[in-house]
């Protein structure tokens, strides 16, 4: 299967008379864009704001981010979500690089929402401070979940996906600046020189814990709570077959943008045929009961062994309860002779003294940490807030609070904030964006 991604590098985004792309500038007719998004009857109010790197802007509560793209064959960008089901992983896409469509609550936040600072000390905590974020600031009539800590955020999230396609149309007929190609050969059809290299499989564990449908990541529009581990072509992931959910504490979640650009997949492609034989992706899941966790570990380990994997990279979206799936999967792979490197965040508490993973096992001999979700962060006021700052304290965002007997509220009267890393939008970047380094003292 051959997937081609033609890249257009966005240097600026401006409002203009016509939605178009020219000389590195994406122009958006704001009125027409709002009319397009407002077609969803559940959206009661909407504004569009643009946040650029280096600006003194704080964005919260963020629910989703999507890279604007378009398929040249006219098929849906996200099969089973924005259009009919189609086979993902082949064909040609045009992508607007360096920007995201970002879904932001006009007022109400939830447990899975996060924050991004576009400048200053806070900018270093999220990859998204490097992007030009086209913020869809939306309120909805979804009253059934307005005061719930957990929200499906359906209207806002779907608006991001549809609008990403809308913007992608601006480059459909243009010639890209460069072209990325991802050709995945059948695992039994490879040359002797490739087969002699160490064979590696990537095991992804997207979030699927919520038994009520609508909160979890979706694969081909299918709620992953009902999913069992399966072998997937890595191109399928890069081509929109999976979209992010709204359940996990925000620093540990994978947005749809992360899925579209999953850096670990791209790095494995770069090394394929040079230092390793990339066998593909085993797409697993994260469930609640021990039986479900064990069943998934059995599926994953048997698939990896059947594929002939010498090694595996295991990545989890989330922490806490999912740590049991993560560790059990690693150990099951090691038990059948597949050497594993695991990548995850850790939850060591604000003082850094707690057990980093809920479950620990001697079989986890090679783990990469992307940081402590409980790390306390203090940031000064921002000149401008997109969304509503009080949502951080009021609405149960996983890293914020309305009051603490020692620290006080997350949002102070002067607009400065104190919060846990938990609330940084996709801040742990298990997907591979992380700029964090380990220092030894």
- Tens-level pLDDT at each residue, the chain (441 residues): 999 999 999 999 999 999 999 999 999 999 999 999 999 999 999 999 999 999 999 999 999 999 999 999 999 999 999 999 999 999 999 999 999 999 999 999 999 999 999 999 999 999 999 999 999 999 999 988 988 989 999 999 999 999 999 999 999 999 999 999 999 999 999 999 999 999 999 999 999 999 999 999 999 999 999 999 999 999 999 999 999 999 889 999 999 999 999 999 999 999 999 999 999 999 999 999 999 999 999 999 999 999 999 999 999 999 999 999 999 999 999 999 999 999 999 999 988 889 999 999 999 999 999 999 999 999 999 999 999 999 999 999 999 999 999 999 999 999 999 999 999 999 999 999 977 776 766
Give domain status of residue 92, yes or no.
yes
Dihedral angle at the C-alpha atoms of 389, 394, 400, 402, nearest 10 degrees?
Answer: 120
Q: What is the pLDDT of residue 187?
A: 95
- Residue at 103 is within a domain: yes
User: Within a domain: residue 224?
Assistant: yes
Residue 282 forms part of a structural domain: yes
The reply to whether 334 falls in a domain is: yes
Q: Which residues contact 291 (CB under 8 A, 6 or more apart)?
A: none
Domain count, the chain: 1
Q: Which domain holds residue 91?
A: 2-423
Q: Is 438 domain-assigned?
A: no
| Residue 162 belongs to some domain of the structure | yes
DSSP 3-state assignment of 439? coil
User: Of 97, 78, 226, 227, which Cα lies nearest the Cα of 157?
Assistant: 78
pLDDT of residue 27: 98
Residue 104 forms part of a structural domain: yes
What does the alpha-carbon distance between residue 290 and residue 107 come to, in Å, rounded to a whole number? Answer: 38
pTM for this prediction: 0.97
Task: In whole angstroms, give the CA distance from residue 167 to residue 70.
Answer: 8
């Amino acid at each position: 299967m051959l997937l081609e991604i033609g890249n257009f590098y966005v240097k600026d985004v401006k409002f203009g008379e016509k939605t178009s792309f020219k000389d590195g500038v994406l122009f958006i007719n704001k009125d027409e864009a709002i009319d397009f998004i407002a077609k969803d009857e559940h959206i009661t109010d909407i504004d569009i704001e643009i946040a650029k790197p280096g600006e003194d802007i704080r964005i919260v509560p963020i629910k989703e981010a999507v890279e604007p793209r378009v398929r040249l064959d006219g098929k849906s960008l996200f099969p089973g979500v924005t259009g009919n089901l189609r086979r993902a992983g082949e064909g040609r896409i045009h992508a607007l690089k360096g920007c995201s469509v970002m879904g932001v609550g006009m007022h109400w936040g939830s447990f899975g929402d996060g924050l991004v600072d576009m400048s200053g000390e806070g900018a270093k905590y999220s990859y998204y401070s490097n992007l030009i974020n086209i913020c869809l600031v939306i309120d909805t009539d979804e009253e059934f979940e307005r005061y719930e800590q957990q929200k499906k955020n359906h209207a806002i999230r779907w608006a991001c996906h549809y609008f990403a396609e809308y913007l992608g149309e601006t480059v459909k007929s243009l010639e890209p600046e460069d072209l990325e190609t991802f050709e995945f050969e059948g695992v039994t059809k490879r040359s002797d020189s490739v087969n002699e290299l160490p064979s590696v499989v990537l095991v992804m564990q997207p979030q699927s814990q919520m038994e009520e449908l609508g909160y979890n990541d979706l694969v081909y529009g299918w709620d992953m709570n009902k999913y069992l581990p399966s072998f997937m072509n890595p191109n399928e992931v890069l081509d929109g077959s999976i979209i992010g959910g709204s359940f996990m504490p925000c620093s540990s979640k994978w947005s749809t943008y992360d899925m579209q650009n999953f850096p670990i997949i791209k790095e494995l492609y770069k090394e394929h045929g040079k230092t390793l034989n990339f066998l593909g992706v085993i797409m697993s899941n994260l469930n609640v009961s021990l039986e479900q966790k064990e069943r998934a570990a059995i599926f994953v380990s048997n698939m990896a062994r059947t594929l002939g994997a010498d090694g595996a990279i295991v990545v989890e979206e989330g922490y806490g309860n999912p740590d049991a799936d993560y560790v059990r999967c690693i150990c099951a792979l090691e038990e059948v002779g597949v050497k594993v490197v695991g990548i995850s965040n850790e939850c060591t508490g604000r003082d850094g003294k707690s057990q980093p993973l809920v479950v620990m096992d001697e079989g986890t001999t090679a783990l990469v940490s992307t940081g402590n979700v409980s790390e306390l962060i203090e940031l000064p006021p921002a000149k401008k807030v997109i969304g509503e700052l009080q949502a951080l304290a009021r609405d149960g965002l996983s890293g914020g609070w309305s009051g603490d007997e020692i620290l006080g509220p997350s949002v102070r009267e002067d607009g400065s904030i104190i919060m846990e890393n938990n609330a940084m939008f996709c801040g742990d970047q298990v997907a591979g964006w992380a700029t964090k380094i380990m220092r030894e003292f």
